[in-house]
């Protein structure tokens, strides 16, 4: 049976346009069941959706030993939700808003996240 958890990405830029940390107070960290573990947890996905403005997110995944991937995801209000399957063993997900350009000032458009674990 699938389980779901959802929430909002905090307002404020966590990262500048070069991907460097501005401040971690704008980052959300999700602790997750270890994804894709046979007999324990099945496949897992993280999804995002937005309204009113395009928002860039920096999403990083930790497998318990290392950060195994970092993605820069543009969430567009005109599109459907964006889903990313989590790699095996995912234990933490770090999510923060990232400036698209130095002049990007839209740091508070609504962006929601959905964690799905089967």
Domain boundaries, the chain: 3-117
pLDDT 10s per residue in the chain (118 long)?
567 889 999 999 999 999 999 999 999 999 887 656 555 666 888 999 999 999 999 999 999 899 999 999 999 999 999 999 998 888 899 999 999 999 999 999 999 999 998 7
Distance CA 58, CA 21 (A): 10
**Can you point out the beta strands (E) in the chain?**
3-8, 13-15, 28-31, 44-50, 55-62, 67-75, 82-85, 92-98, 111-117
Asked if 84 contacts 71 with a C-beta cutoff of 8 angstroms, the reply is: yes
pTM score over 0.85: yes
9's CB contacts (< 8 A; 6+ apart) are 28, 48, 55, 57, 95, 96, 97, 111, 112, 113
Interstrand relation of 111-117 and 3-8 (parallel, antiparallel or unpaired): antiparallel
For position 34, what pLDDT does the model report?
A: 67
- CATH fold of 3-117: Jelly Rolls (2.60.120)
Question: Max CA-CA distance within the chain?
Answer: 48
């Amino acid at each position: 049976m699938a389980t779901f958890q959802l929430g909002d990405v905090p307002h404020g830029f966590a990262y500048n346009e070069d991907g460097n940390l501005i401040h971690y107070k704008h980052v959300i960290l999700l602790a997750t069941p270890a994804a894709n573990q046979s007999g324990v947890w099945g496949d897992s996905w993280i999804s995002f959706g937005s309204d009113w403005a395009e928002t860039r997110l920096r999403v990083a995944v930790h497998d318990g030993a290392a950060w195994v991937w970092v993605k820069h995801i543009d969430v567009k209000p005109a599109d459907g939700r964006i889903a990313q399957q989590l790699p095996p063993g995912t234990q933490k997900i770090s999510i923060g808003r990232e400036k698209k350009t130095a002049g990007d000032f839209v740091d508070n458009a609504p962006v929601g996240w959905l964690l799905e674990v089967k």
